Amino acid sequence: MPTDKGFRRHLDVLRTMDDLLGPLRQFQESQRRLMADLHAGLSDHDEWMRSVGFAVRELEKTISSLGPTLKCLDALEFQSPAFDMLNSANALLPVVVEFQREIDATARQTTAMARAWHEWMKDLEELTETYDTVHFAVGSHFARIAEASLTAQRVVSAVSWENIGVAVEATIQEQDAIRRSFLELTESYSALTQSFAEAGRSILSVPPFVTGLPPVEILAAADALSVISHEAPEKTTEEANLAKELAADIEDALDELLTDLDPDLVQTWRGAKAALESDNPDRFRHAAVSLRELVTHVLHKIAPDEEIRLWSSDPSHFSNNRPTRRARILFVCRSINHDPFTSFVEKDVASALELMDLLQKGTHELSTGVSEKQAGVLIIRAQSLLRLLLATAKE
């Protein structure tokens, strides 16, 4: 049981996170309404632009409050190193966005902006001036990043670092492995955020998924960590809505990406989901095995042995004459050409596989110890990883 001091400290953290998340969610809702009006033709140009301007100004107020508010959490001496890593990453978000404000009004037409950003802004370009389009698109993108990242930090704040894995009766060795892999993941996420807080590096220079998907990965990982560590509390309405929305986004994207890669893999994915929904008492392990195999198949298809041999002759990229997992990830990320992102993907794969390996072990204790809720969150974790790998390989 937590001490009174520890309980009060946790309440302080939750209040701080809720204070930050509230305005971000309000912006998200206003952005959805504005985009719906745009597509439906319900607003004229001047009215729409006034609404956009108000929404962005409100978002900027929230952005400016992030750094000082998160800095106050340092004084709470929180006991989780992963929480500290997420706190340092989230505190940098205002700096990341500040650099985007320096974008020249001609940035919309330059090759410095990644092709995917141009495509994303097509719906707006007929109604807005160049800078307004960039500003609104970046603001919307940032709000989604910040909401996922701050929600992940809130989830981690409720996880006892010492009790990770106890809810599924993980061994001490398994607990240590999960702790280590999750901490390395949060460290790589902090480094990725830091890389975009440096002068001269714009989030518009890379495809939106490079900055948009890592926070979702962190949230999926945090949710998975939570459900294997204790009886997770019921989500707030806002958290449940975000989880539902992200899960739907992941499933829709994954269905399309798997179909493009290999339609047969779609059947493997659907088979894993069907196993989870069956009455088989061993269904959780079967689903985990299928998803583990799917991750391996996908990684080998998007980074085939022969193509890696043509791409690299570095001995460290091979083991027993086969490409290593790290070599495959380097190959997949080669077109992004941003080392912190590649490192994040590598740590994300390692962390997710630790969890899948835990779920698929065939012991009686785990088969009876994993609840449907826990398994569902772990399945989403695997699906989220697959989407990141496929989106990266497609670039």
Residue of 385, 383, 58, 20 lying closest to 217 (CA atoms): 385
What pLDDT, on the 0 to 100 scale, is given for residue 270?
Answer: 84
Per 3-state DSSP, what percentage of the chain is helix, strand, and coil (rounded to 5)? 80, 0, 20
Q: CB of 24 within 8 A of CB of 146? A: yes
**Lowest mean pLDDT across 127-131, 135-139, 324-328, 349-353:** 127-131
Q: Which of 37-46, 80-89, 165-174, 244-253 has the lowest mean pLDDT?
A: 37-46
Sorting pLDDT into bands at 50, 70 and 90, what band is 357? confident
Which range among 12-21, 68-77, 120-129, 349-358 shows the weakest confidence by mean pLDDT? 120-129
Contact 23, 88 (CB under 8 A): no
- Give the domain-ending residue among 236, 266, 289: 236
> What pLDDT is attached to residue 56?
63
Q: 153 and 127: one domain?
A: yes
What are 322's strand-pairing partners? 319
Does position 53 have pLDDT exceeding 70, yes or no?
A: no
User: Do 81 and 157 fall within a single domain?
Assistant: yes
168 shares its domain with 269: no
Binned at pLDDT 50, 70 and 90, residue 274 comes out as confident
- Whole-number percent of the chain with pLDDT over 70: 64
CA quadruple 41, 44, 49, 50: dihedral sign: negative
Give the confidence band of 329 by pLDDT, cuts at 50, 70, 90.
very high
Question: Are 281 and 160 contained in the same domain?
Answer: no
Separation CA 84–CA 89 (nearest Å): 9
What pLDDT does 2 receive? 46
In a shared domain, residues 261 and 302:
yes
Instruction: Spell 11-35 as b/e; 16+ CB within 10 A means b.
Output: ebbeebbeebbebbeebbebbeebe
Lowest mean pLDDT among 69-83, 94-108, 261-275, 347-361: 94-108
DSSP-assigned letters across all residues of 162-182 = GGTTGGGT--HHHHHHHHHHH
**Residue 39's pLDDT band (cuts 50, 70, 90):** low
Residue with the bigger pLDDT between 36 and 323: it is 323
Is 356 found in the same domain as 271?
yes
Report whether 220 contacts 384 (CB < 8 A): yes
What pLDDT sits at residue 200?
58
336, 329, 121, 104: CA torsion to nearest 10: -30
* Same domain? 20 vs 135: yes
Q: Are residues 211 and 305 in the same domain?
A: no
Q: Give the Cα-Cα-Cα angle 149, 111, 303 (nearest 5 degrees).
A: 60
| Angstrom distance (rounded) from CA 164 to CA 179 | 7
Helix (H) or strand (E) holding 291: helix 283-302
Domain range spanning residue 283?
248-394
pLDDT band at 389 (very low <50, low <70, confident <90, very high): very high
Which is more confident, 83 or 184? 184
Evaluate whether residue 241 is within a structural domain: no
**Per-residue pLDDT averaged across 368-383, rounded?**
74
The answer to whether residues 178 and 253 belong to one domain is no
Within a domain: residue 243? Answer: no
Mean pLDDT of the region 198-227: 86
Residue 311 has pLDDT above 70, yes or no: yes
Q: Say if residue 130 is in the same domain as residue 260.
A: no
Q: Which of 236, 271, 296 is where one domain is finished? A: 236
Q: Which residues contact 167 (CB under 8 A, 6 or more apart)?
A: 227, 228, 229, 230, 231, 369, 374
With bands split at pLDDT 50, 70 and 90, how would you rate the model's confidence at 159?
confident
When pLDDT is averaged across residues 357-383 and rounded to a whole number, the result is: 67
Residue 179 has pLDDT above 60, yes or no: yes
Residue 370 in 3-state DSSP?
Answer: coil
Q: Name which of 161-175, 300-314, 320-334 the model is least confident about.
A: 161-175
Average pLDDT, the chain: 77
Residue 159 lies in a domain: yes
Q: Tell me which of 46-60, 112-126, 263-277 is least confident.
A: 112-126
- The answer to whether the beta carbons of residues 91 and 16 sit under 8 Å apart is no
Query: For position 257, what pLDDT does the model report?
Result: 95
- pLDDT-derived band of residue 42, with 50, 70 and 90 as boundaries? low
59: in domain: yes
Taking the C-alpha atoms of residue 303 and residue 232, their distance in angstroms, rounded to an integer, is 37
Of 236, 262, 292, the residue that ends a domain is 236
217/285 same-domain check: no
Does the pLDDT at position 297 exceed 90?
yes
Contact 360, 285 (CB under 8 A): yes
How many angstroms from the chain centroid is the CA of residue 245? Answer: 13
Distance of CA 357 to the CA centre of its chain: 20
Distance CA 218, CA 224 (A): 10
Let me know if residue 242 belongs to a domain: no
Q: What is the pLDDT of residues 84-118, one digit of tens each?
A: 888 888 877 777 766 555 544 444 444 456 666 66
Choice between 318 and 66, residue whose per-residue pLDDT is larger? 318
Question: Is the same domain home to 56 and 139?
Answer: yes
Indicate if the pLDDT at residue 128 is higher than 60: no
pLDDT at 298: 95
- Average pLDDT score over residue span 49-74: 64
Q: Total structural domains in the chain?
A: 2
DSSP of 55-87, one letter per residue?
HHHHHHHHHHHHHHHHHGGGGG--S-HHHHHHH
What is the pLDDT confidence band of residue 133, given thresholds at 50, 70 and 90?
Answer: low
Backbone region of residue 113 per phi and psi (left: phi > 0; alpha: psi in -120 to 50; beta: other values): beta
User: Is 110:215 a contact under the CB 8 Å cutoff?
Assistant: no
Confidence of residue 51 (pLDDT cuts 50, 70, 90): low
